[in-house]
Amino acid sequence: MSIFKSCDVRGIYNGELTPAFAFDFGRAVGTMLQGGSVVVAGDVRPSTPRLKGALIEGLISSGCYVADAGLVPTSALYFAQDWLSVDGAVMVTASHNPPGYNGFKLKLGQWPIFEEGLQTLRTHIENEDFRQGQGYWNRADVLQAYQSQIEQHFDLGQSLRVVVDAGNGCMSRIAPETVRRVGHTVIERFCEIDGRFPKRDPNPAVAAHVAGLAEQVLAEEADLGIAFDGDGDRVVFVDDKGRIQAGDRSLVLFIRQRLPSAQTTGERTVVYDIKCSSVVKEEIERWHGVAQVERSGHAFIKRTLMKKKAGLAGEISGHYFFGELQRDDALFASLLMLQILSQSGQPLSTLMDDIQQYAITPDLRLPCSPEKRSAILADLQAAFADHEITTVDGVRVDFERGWALARPSVTEPLITLRFEGRTEADLQAIQAEISGRVPALGRLLGTNSGS
């Protein structure tokens, strides 16, 4: 079953992902929870109601008590698990994927699920090994309590002008309302729920998808633009000059806001994914924090946040995690960014211009068979044995003035490359050295045609 990914289940609706599968998936989750309690919610996609209904039927047939939270952002579902004191949580969503996709994000207990847990679920389904029982369900209204929990962390400061782009997704109603409730003026963009995502792609981390937001921020003379993904757990910020800000640069502002007052080692620990610019680690160390690099992926970052009792974590994709919540929360991150701007009295463009900017590539996703990919990663590690190597996620080679990263895709026959240099010349030199020492990578990059 190719729909089982490293941290969740995701695929094309009515391909491998059907209501019949959702029913069996619910039975498998209920079996692993031994007929315990679980909160379920869903995103805005047209296929979500049928999948969620079948999922709930499967959970009930295994003896579970099910609390149906309805249509909420994924972060509100995670909140609901703690608020309702239930054993597990399942979100029907394909996150930032196109509308034809759907899937499941889940927690069994307090920890995020990984490959091992997903494999156990898969085995239950393949063997039709399910617990039998008779559970029941009811509705659970969690949004008001969720909003109150988020809002209590923020004081009303200087009122700002904000364009909120929900992309017709799960944040369409709750985000504009919450931002207004903490005192800001909101201009709504694509805040009508529509799971076909007719106005823009649900992935805001791709600059082209939020170019219209950047234009509207300028046209409205707004202080900030905020763009959410389909299930509302990732956020991208646009500054007052209409510049789309990378996730790691926004993380630097959160570091500057939180580390100066951090007291414990945990509070001073910041977890970040391996794709982030070196400026993140430098900023953490500048404020006497503890830098903790981790594999890219929501579940991996969250697990390390919890293990280290870290105060803050972030991914370049726009996931931000907070120690006081013990989870990621895009709405919390949005209010925090607004608080930083309100308290500083400076525009976001000025704050961002104060952050060091290095030359960095986007992810270079290149076709590569699994066999060749494994050989390339081994060759890269061997060729640069005289350098500092990090293997938490693929192979990263650190240079005096930058780094190179090669990561295997877990879902496609691809290898993903990323490079950073202190300057553009440093970046080019690092790519050239990688190509020279690892000819197979050079051929992929198109910079070593003579090999």
158 vs 280 pLDDT, higher one: 280
Whether 153 has a pLDDT exceeding 50, the answer reads: yes
The pLDDT value recorded for residue 409 is 80
293 DSSP β-pair partners: 272
- What pLDDT does 447 receive? 44
Nearest Cα neighbor of 234 from 188, 305, 175, 150 is 175
Tell me how crowded residue 68 is: count the other CB atoms within 10 A of its CB.
15
Active-site amino acid positions = 10, 95, 319
- In sequence order, the 6+-apart residues with CB closer than 8 A to the CB of 58 are 22, 23, 24, 25, 26, 27, 28, 29, 30
Q: What is the mean predicted confidence (pLDDT) over 120-138?
A: 97
Confidence of residue 155 (pLDDT cuts 50, 70, 90): confident
**pLDDT at position 449:** 43
pLDDT category of residue 411 using cuts at 50, 70 and 90? low
Average pLDDT over residues 53-58: 98
* Cβ contact 308:321 at 8 Å: no
Please check the confidence at residue 370 and state whether its pLDDT lies above 90: no
- The whole-model pTM stands at 0.95
Average pLDDT, the chain: 95
Q: How confident is the model at residue 158 (pLDDT cuts 50, 70, 90)?
A: confident
pLDDT for residue 450: 38
Find the radius of gyration of the CA atoms of the chain: 22
First-residue to last-residue Cα distance in the chain: 38
Flag the least confident range among 123-132, 179-188, 377-386, 439-448: 439-448
Residue 1 above 70 pLDDT? no
User: Is the pLDDT at 261 greater than 90, yes or no?
Assistant: yes
Domains of the chain as residue ranges with CATH = 9-142 (3.40.120.10), 159-244 (3.40.120.10), 247-353 (3.40.120.10), 359-445 (3.30.310.50)
Share of the chain above pLDDT 70, in %: 98
Secondary structure string (H, E, C) spanning the chain: CCCECCCCEEEEECCCECHHHHHHHHHHHHHHCCCCEEEEEECCCCCHHHHHHHHHHHHHHCCCEEEEEEECCHHHHHHHHHHHCCCEEEEECCCCCCCCEEEEEEEECCCECCHHHHHHHHHHHHHCCCCCCCCEEEECCCHHHHHHHHHCCCCCCCCCEEEEECCCCCCCCHHHHHHHHCCCEEEEECCCCCCCCCCCCCCCCCHHHHHHHHHHHHHCCCCEEEEECCCCCCEEEECCCCCEECHHHHHHHHHHHHHHHCCCHHHHEEEEECCCCHHHHHHHHHCCCEEEEECCCHHHHHHHHHHHCCCEEECCCCCEEECCCCEECHHHHHHHHHHHHHHHCCCHHHHHHCCCCCEECCCEEEECCHHHHHHHHHHHHHHCCCCEEECCCCEEEEECCEEEEEEECCCCCEEEEEEEECCHHHHHHHHHHHHHHCHHHHHHHCCCCCC
pLDDT mean over 250-263 = 97
Query: Which region holds residue 242: left if phi is over 0, alpha if psi is between -120 and 50, else beta?
Result: left
Kindly state the average pLDDT of the residues 415-439. Answer: 96
What pLDDT is recorded for position 288?
A: 96
Q: How confident is the model at residue 157 (pLDDT cuts 50, 70, 90)?
A: confident
Q: Which pLDDT does position 156 carry in this prediction?
A: 74
pLDDT at 346 over 70: yes
Query: How much is the average pLDDT of 29-51?
Result: 98
Has residue 412 got a pLDDT over 80? no
Q: What is the mean pLDDT of residues 215-225?
A: 98
Task: Answer yes or no: is pLDDT of 410 > 60.
Answer: yes
The pLDDT of residue 172: 98
- The residues facing 188 across adjacent strands are 164
Which residues have CB under 8 Å from 85's CB, separation 6+?
A: none
The predicted pLDDT at position 7 comes to: 87
